[in-house]
Chain A
Amino acid sequence: MSLGRFYFYSDVLHSSQMVSIALQEPKILLNQEPSEMEILYLLHGAQGSSHSWPSSSNVERFLYESERNMMIVMPTMKTNYYQDHKIGDRYYTYVAEELPKYIESLFNVTHKRENTYVAGLSMGGYGAMKLALRNPEKFCFGASFSGAVDMRKLVKNRIDDNPRYRPMFGSYEEFENSEDDLEYLLERNVKEGRPLPKLYVSCGTADGLLDSSIYFADKAKSLGYEVKLHKEKMLGHGWRFWDLEVEKLIRTLI
Chain B
Amino acid sequence: MAVLELTYRSHVLDFDQNLLVMFPDPSGLKLSESDKGTDFEFPVLYLLHGYSDDHTSWLRRSSVERYLTEDLKKPLVIVCPSVQNSFYSDMVYGWKYFKYLTEEVPELLKRWIKISTRREDTFVAGLSMGGYGAYKLAFTYPERFSIAASFSGALDLAESGRGNPDKDVKCSDVFGMKRSETDGTEFDLKVMLQKAVDSGKELPKFYLSCGTKDPLYRIDLGFRDLMEKKGIKVNYSETEGLAHEWKFWDQEIEKFLKVLPLKSLEEIRR
Q: Mark B144-163, 1 if CB is under 8 A from A, else 0.
A: 00000000000000000000
Question: Roughly how many angstroms separate A206 CA and B88 CA in the complex, as a whole number?
Answer: 56
Whether A5 touches B114, Cβ cut-off 8 Å, given contacts A102-B29, A104-B38, A105-B40, is: no
Contact for A23 among B25, B104, B112, CB less than 8 A: B112
Q: Is B1 interfacial (CB 8 A cutoff)? A: yes
Q: Mark A17-29, 1 if CB is under 8 A from B, else 0.
A: 0000101011101
Whether A21 touches B4, Cβ cut-off 8 Å, given contacts A11-B32, A26-B108, A34-B111, is: yes
Question: Roughly how many angstroms separate A2 CA and B6 CA in the complex, as a whole number?
Answer: 7
Tell me which residues across on chain B come within 8 A of A21, comparing CB atoms.
4, 6
B38/A2 in contact, CB under 8 A: no
B26/A11 in contact, CB under 8 A: yes
User: Interface residues, chain B, CB within 8 Å of chain A?
Assistant: 1-11, 23, 25-27, 29, 31-32, 38, 40, 42, 69, 77, 104, 107-108, 110-114
Identify the closest chain A residue to B14 (Cβ).
A27
Please give the number of chain A residues whose Cβ is less than 8 angstroms from any Cβ of chain B in the complex. Answer: 32
B23/A8 in contact, CB under 8 A: yes
Question: Roughly how many angstroms separate A69 CA and B3 CA in the complex, as a whole number?
Answer: 22
B4/A30 in contact, CB under 8 A: no
Contact for B2 among A9, A30, A71, CB less than 8 A: A9
Whether A9 touches B25, Cβ cut-off 8 Å, given contacts A3-B7, A105-B114, A108-B113, is: yes
The 6 closest A-B CB pairs, nearest first, are A2-B8, A8-B2, A4-B6, A105-B38, A26-B11, A6-B4
Tell me which residues across on chain B come within 8 A of A108, comparing CB atoms.
111-114
A/B interface sample: 21 pairs, CB < 8 A: A2-B6, A2-B7, A2-B9, A4-B5, A6-B3, A7-B3, A8-B1, A8-B3, A8-B23, A9-B1, A9-B2, A9-B27, A11-B31, A21-B4, A30-B104, A30-B107, A69-B111, A101-B38, A102-B31, A106-B23, A108-B114
Whether A105 touches B1, Cβ cut-off 8 Å, given contacts A1-B8, A34-B111, is: no
Tell me which residues across on chain A come within 8 A of B77, comparing CB atoms.
106
Tell me which residues across on chain B come within 8 A of A106, comparing CB atoms.
23, 40, 42, 77, 113-114
Question: Roughly how many angstroms separate A26 CA and B114 CA in the complex, as a whole number?
Answer: 17
B26/A5 in contact, CB under 8 A: no
A25/B9 in contact, CB under 8 A: yes
Q: Is A162 interfacial (CB 8 A cutoff)? A: no
A27/B9 in contact, CB under 8 A: yes
Tell me which residues across on chain A come within 8 A of B27, comparing CB atoms.
9, 11
Identify the closest chain A residue to B109 (Cβ).
A108
User: Interface residues, chain A, CB within 8 Å of chain B?
Assistant: 1-12, 16, 21, 23, 25-27, 29-30, 34, 37, 69, 71, 98, 101-102, 104-108
B7/A9 in contact, CB under 8 A: no
Distance from A210 Cβ to chain B, minimum over Cβ atoms (Å): 37
By secondary structure, the B interface counts as mixed
Question: Roughly how many angstroms separate A105 CA and B42 CA in the complex, as a whole number?
Answer: 10
Question: Roughly how many angstroms separate A29 CA and B111 CA in the complex, as a whole number?
Answer: 9
A101/B31 in contact, CB under 8 A: yes
Whether A107 touches B8, Cβ cut-off 8 Å, given contacts A7-B3, A98-B32, A101-B31, is: no
Identify the closest chain A residue to B65 (Cβ).
A7
Tell me which residues across on chain B come within 8 A of A34, comparing CB atoms.
110-111
Interface centre among B10, B23, B69, B110 (most CB of A within 10 A): B23
Identify the closest chain A residue to B32 (Cβ).
A11
Tell me which residues across on chain B come within 8 A of A7, comparing CB atoms.
1-4
Distance from A62 Cβ to chain B, minimum over Cβ atoms (Å): 15
Tell me which residues across on chain A come within 8 A of B6, comparing CB atoms.
2-4, 21, 23
Tell me which residues across on chain B come within 8 A of A107, comparing CB atoms.
112-114
Question: Roughly how many angstroms separate A102 CA and B1 CA in the complex, as a whole number?
Answer: 13
Distance from A65 Cβ to chain B, minimum over Cβ atoms (Å): 13
Identify the closest chain A residue to B6 (Cβ).
A4
